[in-house]
Amino acid sequence: MKFIDPHIHCVSRTTDDYLFMARAGVVAVSEPAFWAGYDRSSAASFGDYFRHLLDIEPKRAAKYGIDHYSWLCINAKEAENVALSREVIKLIPPLLDHPRVLGVGEIGLNKNTRNEITVFEEQVEIAAKYNQLILIHTPHLEDKHKGTAIITSILKNDQRIKPERVLIDHCEEHTIRMARENGFWAGLTIYPVTKVTPTRGCDILEQFGTQMICVNSASDWGESSPSMLIDTALEYRRRGHSEAEVEEVFYSNPCRFFGQSGKWKLKPGKTS
Amino acid sequence: MPDARNVLDHQYLEMRWRALSLAADLDRIQRAEGGDTVLQDDQRMVKLRRVFELLISTDSHDRAEQVQHILSDQTPWPE
């Protein structure tokens, strides 16, 4: 069985994690631009980070037979500084034609502030202007429901945005309907603690169906692991779902969403 | 559709340790200085008490979603 991790922050992971993923059957990943473990002090830091995403991580991943793609943006966690955010946003358009860039992301909200909303809207503008796929970060914990409602409201009110070209990530039991009922893709991010676990992830797949849903591990700077993707697939199979159904969720669905970029090489279908 | 008793068989030990873990968490808070006040008045505990009441109800089918709503920020959107 081959897997795709559609949302993983490889810059925060060790080489051992790449080795684990390769052994487990992960053949491709997509890495949204996000926080670097600390707040950056200048746009130049983001310029270096983008170079890391586009040049360094694909080479690290390729050593383990993993195809690595990225998304570019200034993340919501650092978007409170609007002036800095605007300097960073200027760096993005010249990089959008890079063969490893799938779109604009992960943009969204963190604490649902006015400044975060301003920076989010300005990045939606970039995505619309350059016809890019969008990957959305929704807030965690108590901020998630309100933040997801604000984000989906902004996107729905922009006639240029096609919902099927947007993935609303980090959906949970109380937000997934907002994504699905408005025609967006939904992402489930599986963590060992604090957020959606492999068993709850499988509950959501069974309750809401597997169409237009991608499952990922995030594997960020917090307690997280690339094994969460595999553990969720194993739990899904343990519940009696066939290899073909597992493949549909954990391989073909990411291929369908990312395939809209014109740059993603893998196709949905039989992997083994 | 899986048999409910089989699902319980599979989950029971994990549910049991989670219940014990929560009980021990509450005991630890209570033993600490000011424990009684925090357990009674802290808004997080107030929300968790609502969650516990929901968990033991027998007529709900979407407990996880309802718990999420209880624990969500309900303040208005920014202007």
Hey, where are the domains in chain B? Answer: 1-33, 42-74
Bridge partners, residue A188, by sequence: A215
Question: If you count residue pairs, one on A and one on B, with CB atoms under 8 Å apart, how many are there?
Answer: 39
B75 CB neighbours in chain A (<8 A) are: 146
Please name the residue of chain A whose CA is at the shortest distance from the CA of residue B6: A239
CB contact under 8 A, A173 and B71: no
The residue among A162, A171, A231 whose CA lies nearest residue A5 is A231
Percent of chain A with pLDDT over 70: 99
Candidate from B68, B77, B78 with C-beta closest to A173: B68
Question: What six digits make up the tokens of A41?
Answer: 């002090």
With an 8 Å Cβ cutoff, is A121 touching chain B?
no
- Its pTM stands at 0.95
Output the CA angle A66-A71-A77, nearest 5 degrees.
120
Q: Spell out which residues of chain B touch residue A196, defining contact as CB-CB under 8 Å.
A: none
Helices within chain A (DSSP H only) = 15-24, 43-51, 57-62, 82-91, 114-129, 144-156, 176-180, 198-208, 227-238, 243-247, 253-259
pLDDT grade, residue A271 (50/70/90)? low
Q: Which candidate from A145, A149, A200 shows the least CB-CB separation from B69?
A: A145
Kindly report the nearest CA distance between residue A95 and chain B, in angstroms.
32
Strand ranges of the sheet holding A101-108, from the earlier edge strand across to the other edge: A3-5, A26-31, A67-72, A101-108, A133-137, A166-168, A185-189, A213-216
CB A66 within 8 A of CB A21: yes
pLDDT computed for residue A208 by the predictor: 96
pLDDT band at residue A272 under the 50/70/90 scheme: low
- Of B65, B75, B77, nearest to A174 by CB-CB distance is B65
> Cβ separation of B64 and A173 shorter than 8 Å?
yes
Alpha-carbon gap, residue A212 to A44, rounded angstroms: 36
pLDDT digits (tens, 9 = 90+) for A67-89: 999 999 999 999 999 999 999 99
Of A35-39, B56-60, B64-68, minimum mean pLDDT range:
B56-60
Beta bridge partners of B71: none
Nearest to B73 among A142, A175, A240 (CB): A142
Give the confidence band of A154 by pLDDT, cuts at 50, 70, 90.
very high
Report CA B70 to chain centroid distance, whole Å: 10
Distance CA A231, CA A141 (A): 22
Tens digits of residue pLDDT in B5-31: 999 999 999 999 999 999 999 999 999
Partners of B69 on chain A (C-beta within 8 Å) are: 145, 174
> Is residue B65 less than 8 Å (CB to CB) from chain A?
yes
Residue A244 burial class via C-beta count within 10 angstroms: exposed 0-12, middle 13-18, buried 19 and up:
exposed
CB of A237 less than 8 A from some CB of B:
no
B72 vs A144: CB contact, 8 Å cut-off?
Answer: yes
- Contact of B73 with chain A, judged by CB distance below 8 Å, is answered with yes
* Alpha helix positions (H), A94-226: 114-129, 144-156, 176-180, 198-208
Nearest chain B residue to A195, by CA = B68
Contact at CB, B64 and A141, closer than 8 angstroms: no
Residues 6+ apart with CB under 8 A from A202: A232, A235, A236, A239
Q: How far is B77 from chain A (nearest CA, A)?
A: 7
What pLDDT, in 10s, does the model give residues A207-265?
A: 999 999 999 999 999 999 999 999 999 999 999 999 999 999 999 999 999 999 999 99
Instruction: Name the average pLDDT for chain B.
Output: 95
Nearest by CB to residue B65, choosing from A113, A146, A173, is A173
Any B CB within 8 A of A206 CB: no
Domain A3-257 = CATH 3.10.20.440: no
Retrieve residue A112's tokens. 């649902």
Please state the domain extents for chain A. Answer: 3-257
CA A239 to chain centre: 26
DSSP lists the bridge partners of residue A187 as: A214
**pLDDT digits over A2-52, tens only?**
999 999 999 999 999 999 999 999 999 999 999 998 999 999 999 999 999
